[in-house]
Amino acid sequence: MIVMKFGGAALKDSQSIKNVAKIVIQNIEHDPIIVLSAVGGVTDELLDMGMQASHGAVDVKAFIELHEKICGELDVDFSIFRPLLKELTGVLSDIKSLGVLRLVEKDALLSFGERFSVRIFSKYLENMGIKSRAYDSWEIGIITTPSHSNTKILHKTYKDIRKFFETNHMPFWEIPVITGFIAKNSKGEITTLGRGGSDLTASIVGTALKCEEIQIWKDVDGILSAEPSIVPNAKVLRRISYREAHELAFFGAKILHPQSMIPSKKGNIPIRVKNFLFPDGDGTIISDKTDETEEGLKSLTCRKDITLVNIESPEMIGEYGYLARIFAIFKDLKISVDLIATSEASISLTLDNTVNVERLIKRLSSFSEVKVRKKMAIVSLIGTRYYSPTILSKIFYVFHKEGVNVEMISQGASKINIAFVIDEIYADKVIKALHKYLFEKEKSLEVMR
């Protein structure tokens, strides 16, 4: 049994949906369970529709046209969607009368993307002569905490999914096609797992059913040594560990939802990232093993639009409780900190650009000097043994050669990543140069001469 997850890019029109169906049919002997995102762009479109409804305009025309066209081209009867369309209009009318887009209605609204895509896909499989059935994820047992948007699943989900399939539906005589990203909470309200959350759904389902493999199908050959739009000759990694993949996703590689490694790591189920445009490739396997390449380096990533905060309090030298005092403020303001570097009485840390720094500065300024720099980037190198003198000398050579100041350095305790905070405008050129000197053989020797 395998889970095959396809995102919006794989489902952008009827042609791409046909391609996905072909891949699924080729894998039929592996007993695939399908997890889908919404049709490409639809989640953003629904968000827009929600905003407009909150300003008084309910308009479902473009949404209907897009799905109706796809159904027409795949020979799927669009009239099956009448009840869902009625529900969609109802949600939008509620938003209109409330005059705001609250998280409860927003999650309900976003659910329609996946609820449409799974039904279309499942019907199309049937047209191809393959028995199939569409499921909204709550039907198979995915249940979350009460909160909305970016919510967490309850642990009982794993048991419930297993029970559901074991009692009713295994072995599969109909291919299950399950909505990614969406779920329900114990109050019966629709919730969502955060943008890109279908990867997490796939990981949950694959782990619950102890599948052989969870496949995430993307438009790239696997996980690469750098973002291919910046480094065109980036290499595909054959095998990386869950930890490395998690760091990669967290530090900006647009490859997997950062949380999606957590269930599969616990259940020790490998995730394979594959390319739906070249399905024959091996892709990248994420598991508890990693490839010990010569230098142990895996990938360079970059996260832009980061805010760097420097906090200094000379009067705290030799005192205790300084860090506690600072972090109590972050806790109070519910601000999550990403990277940290400290010395006796100063701290540098990075935050997401969405944080309201004004309030933070006000609180910290009462006992510290605070400097904030926006539009920074975190460039990180992921892999084992990056801390060898050879690698470090190459890294610093690049900063020297490119004339770029490093504003902060942070090394993860797990020793699988080192991160450099620099001005965002230099990020791409630094990544290009680092890739050249660290990952491309001829260049990599130049520094050492």
Closest-CA residue to 315 (of 366, 386, 265, 246): 366
The position carrying tokens 């490093």 is 406
CA distance 377 to 375: 7
Q: Site mask, Mg ion, residues 157-196, x = CB under 5 A?
A: ---------------------------------------x
* Residue 40 binds which of Mg ion, ligand ASP, none (CB < 5-8 A, kind-dependent): none
Q: State which residue, 180 or 206, has the beta carbon closest to ligand ASP.
A: 180
* Residue 113 binds which of Mg ion, ligand ASP, none (CB < 5-8 A, kind-dependent): ligand ASP
Whether the CB-CB separation of 141 and 157 falls below 8 Å is answered with: yes
Whether the CB-CB separation of 309 and 342 falls below 8 Å is answered with: no
258 touches Mg ion (CB under 5 A): no
The position carrying tokens 């109802």 is 90
Q: State which residue, 37 or 348, has the beta carbon closest to ligand ASP.
A: 37
Q: State which residue, 37 or 144, has the beta carbon closest to ligand ASP.
A: 37
Tell me the sheet residues that pair with 216: 5, 273
CB of 434 to ligand ASP, least distance (A): 30
CA distance 431 to 316: 37
Give the residue, chosen from 3, 4, 7, 258, that forms a contact with Mg ion under the rule CB under 5 A.
Answer: 7
CB of 356 to Mg ion, least distance (A): 28
CA distance 258 to 244: 11
37 touches Mg ion (CB under 5 A): yes
Whether the CB-CB separation of 282 and 270 falls below 8 Å is answered with: no
CB of 42 to Mg ion, least distance (A): 10
Residue 420 gets the label, from left (phi > 0), alpha (psi -120 to 50) or beta, of beta
Closest-CA residue to 297 (of 220, 240, 228): 240
* Residue 180 binds which of Mg ion, ligand ASP, none (CB < 5-8 A, kind-dependent): ligand ASP
Helices (H), 34-149: 42-54, 61-74, 82-98, 103-127, 137-140
Q: Site mask, ligand ASP, residues 99-138, x = CB under 6 A?
A: --------------x-------------------------
Pick out residues in 167-206 that bind ligand ASP (CB under 6 A): 180-181, 195-198
Segment interacting with Mg ion, rule: CB under 5 A, options 30-38, 68-76, 227-235, 335-343? 30-38
Give the residue, chosen from 14, 43, 111, 301, that forms a contact with ligand ASP under the rule CB under 6 A.
Answer: 43
Helix axes 61-74, 42-54, angle to 10 degrees: 150
Segment interacting with ligand ASP, rule: CB under 6 A, options 13-21, 35-43, 99-107, 312-320? 35-43
* Residue 385 binds which of Mg ion, ligand ASP, none (CB < 5-8 A, kind-dependent): none
- Amino acid in position 318: G
State the number of binding residues for ligand ASP (CB under 6 A).
12
CA distance 445 to 437: 8
Query: What is the DSSP pairing of strand 32-36 with strand 175-179?
Result: parallel
CB of 196 to ligand ASP, least distance (A): 4
CB of 88 to ligand ASP, least distance (A): 15
Alpha-carbon distances of 52 from 43, 46, 95, 114, 244, rounded to whole Å: 14, 10, 9, 21, 41
CA angle 266, 271, 275 (to 5 degrees): 165
CB of 193 to ligand ASP, least distance (A): 8
- Amino acid in position 413: A
Residue 315 DSSP symbol: G
Give the residue, chosen from 38, 108, 335, 378, that forms a contact with ligand ASP under the rule CB under 6 A.
Answer: 38
CB of 249 to ligand ASP, least distance (A): 13
Query: What is the DSSP pairing of strand 346-352 with strand 408-411?
Result: unpaired
Give the residue, chosen from 6, 11, 14, 37, that forms a contact with ligand ASP under the rule CB under 6 A.
Answer: 37
Q: State which residue, 136 or 424, has the beta carbon closest to ligand ASP.
A: 136
Return the H-helix or E-strand segment holding 359: helix 357-365
Give the residue, chosen from 3, 8, 157, 255, that forms a contact with ligand ASP under the rule CB under 6 A.
Answer: 8
Q: State which residue, 12 or 96, has the beta carbon closest to Mg ion.
A: 12
Query: What is the SS3 assignment for 257?
Result: coil
Q: Site mask, Mg ion, residues 196-215, x = CB under 5 A?
A: x-------------------
Q: State which residue, 37 or 144, has the beta carbon closest to Mg ion.
A: 37
Residue 31 DSSP symbol: -
CB of 93 to ligand ASP, least distance (A): 23
Residues that bind ligand ASP (CB under 6 A): 7-8, 37-38, 43, 113, 180-181, 195-198
Residues that bind Mg ion (CB under 5 A): 7-8, 37, 196
